[in-house]
Structure 1
Amino acid sequence: MRLQSLPSAQPRFFIGVDGGGSGTRVRLVDDRGRALGQGEAGPSALGQGIEQAWEHVQLAIERAFAQAGLPLAAAADCALGLGLAGAHTPARCDRFMAAAPAYARVALDTDAGTALRGAHRGAPGSIVAAGTGSVGEALRCDGRRVSVGGWGFGIGDEGSGGWLGLASVRIAQRALDGRASAGPLARAVWRVAGGQRDALLDWAAVAGQHGFARLAPLVFDSADADPAARRLLDEAAHALVEMAAALDPAAELPLVLIGSIAKRLAPRLPKEWLALVVAPHGDAIDGALLLAREPRVLA
């Protein structure tokens, strides 16, 4: 986590920011915690550029004040808590904080970190998040924070939508080659990405993480009729269990599943892990607001 504050600042407004590779969401509250407005803007993942991140964060803040019917407050009157994708890289965090306007307080964590805070209201617990990518975070009872996964598309993100999509394209490739039979999943991928070698190669060359993740629903839709799709879903569920076990070896912490893929895989988790699953107290923006109000490092 990164933190910087103005001496003796007394913020009038607290702003929670949840920023990723597809968009930025902001919630504005007053010093009593009353919700005033919300705003959205483009992506603010740090890996896409520091200048862009601040541009979209500030645009979303402007829109939140506008929705609240308020003039944009001076930065010195605002405390900002941010959970941003890519904030696990120290050099990026340093550049982002160096470019920060003079807010009363700026507290930066990863989007997984603020999701963890929001899910358990800052109390011990764990999260396993699987959407386009995957990551796990936990705050253990001894106060130690642990992160697993989140290594990124192609080399990690097991159990995620991107991982499922990439695996389904491999199945489609093998079927095209005649190395495997063409089941319902392979044929579904062909309909989206191309049923000829050149077409499938061209599609895969430009798809990127989000393009592959858009194939993940095909795996779920094919599972009843296709053993290959079922095996992929079982492997994905096992990957989420591995993350949960690494976060909480004693299986004693409440567990929140976050993201569309994690929720769809939940019925495939073993009973002992499903027994730990609880509903989240809040989301990543709630966690970012906690960060803005009570900035502290979860070590």
Structure 2
Amino acid sequence: MYLLAVDGGGSKTLARLQHSLSGQQWQAAGGPAQLSNNLDLAIRTVRQLSLQLCQQAGIGLHQVMACIGLAGAGNPQLHSAFCQQLQLNFAAWQLTTDARTSLYGANNGQPVVMVALGTGSVAMRLDQDGSEQQTGGWGFNIGDEGGGAWLGKLAVRQLLWQLDSDEGLTSPLTQALSQHCGDNVSTVLPWLKQAGATDFAALAPLVFSHQSCPLAQQILHQQAAAITELIQCCRGRRALPVVLLGGLAASSQSLLSADIGKLLQAPRGDALDGGLILAARQLARISPV
């Protein structure tokens, strides 16, 4: 039997196929698979990667136990629609959130608080008794504080303030942003009209690369505060280690306070590792030793 893990978010999707006995692996990457952004695209991406990996391994879908972890899968309607429309003949499979697969990968299935910082943000806790609790992850429109799209949105808001001011673009950060979003009303408005979470997240690296700019420092201070609040809300008073995962984890960690830094430990795995853990558990339930 083979185990398949899929990790899909707002910017990219990764998939890993592993033979359950030998441990041999195959991996592939694709575009976004964020259910709340584009359900049809998510379905196409997961189908493409699943079939691609099976082809690489020379196996059929019926030999695969899959765990698909996607952003937006916590929405019951989207979860149901994806399950009805995927139409892949796996031996068995489950759809869960990318936060949950990240949680199980972060500390190799052991108790932990996991904070994922990518296009969006979410924290999740695995307690000693095996119970799980999610904090945040409410989506770009209202939440995802500390994530890349939220960070990019803060930066663009500052760009708009400076465009409205008498002084114009005086900040190195907003000058750099104007190269991507426009430097006047006639260019910025069309960009704003079509911009989604992925577009805003693509601007986050500019904030980090302009840390000598006071405006960028101000925005990154807000990000550090948002991440701290996410950690504290999810962890509470529990004596659990905290693991940061995602594309912004490394660059964000240095911005956090010393007290928060003492709680952090290096990740033991990622969302794909977590997906393989959950797929293996499903296989064990179906085929107990």
Report how far residue 67 of structure 1 moved.
Answer: 2.6
TM-score (norm 1): 0.86
Contact 2:11 / 2:119 at 8 angstroms: preserved in 1? no
Check if 1:78 corresponds to 2:64: yes
| 1:288 aligned residue (261, 269, 275) | 275
Q: 2:142 maps to which residue?
A: 155
Code of the aligned partner of 2:26: G
Secondary structure, counterpart of 1:47 in structure 2:
coil
Query: Could you tell me whether the CA contact under 8 Å between 2:181 and 2:188 is conserved in 1?
Result: yes
What's 2:78 paired with? 92
Instruction: Give 1:25's match in structure 2, choosing from 11, 14, 22.
Output: 14
Give the C-alpha shift of residue 66 in structure 1: 2.9
Equivalent residue number for residue 8 of structure 1: none
Establish whether residue 59 from structure 1 lines up as the match of residue 48 from structure 2: yes
The alpha carbon displacement at 1:97 in A equals: 2.8
Partner of 1:268, secondary structure, is: coil
Q: CA deviation at 1:42?
A: 3.9
Q: Provide the aligned length of Structure 1 versus Structure 2.
A: 281
Task: Describe how 1:199-278 pairs up with structure 2 within 5 A.
Answer: 199-224=187-212, 226-250=213-237, 252-278=239-265
Aligned counterpart, 1:4: none
CA distance in structure 2 between the aligned counterparts of 1:269 and 1:180, rounded to whole angstroms: 33
- Give CA-to-partner distance per residue, 1:242-265, whole Å, 9 cap, x none: 000011012521111112323212
User: What is aligned with 1:198?
Assistant: 186
Distance apart, 1:230 and its partner CA: 0.8
Return the offset for 1:210. 1.6
- Displacement of 1:90 in angstroms is 1.4
**Aligned in 2, Cα 1:179/1:213: closer, same or farther, shift over 3 Å?**
farther
CA contact (8 A) 1:38 1:63 kept: no
Query: What amino acid sits opposite 1:175 in the alignment?
Result: Q
Unaligned runs of 5+ in 1: 1-11
Aligned-pair RMSD on alpha carbons?
2.2
Matching of residue 109 in structure 1 with residue 93 in structure 2: no
Aligned residue in 2 for 1:177: 164
Structure 2 portions without partners, runs of 5+: 284-289
Query: How far 1:178 moved relative to its partner?
Result: 1.5
Q: Distance in 2 between matches of 1:232 and 1:295?
A: 43
Q: Shift in Å at residue 101 of structure 1?
A: 3.7
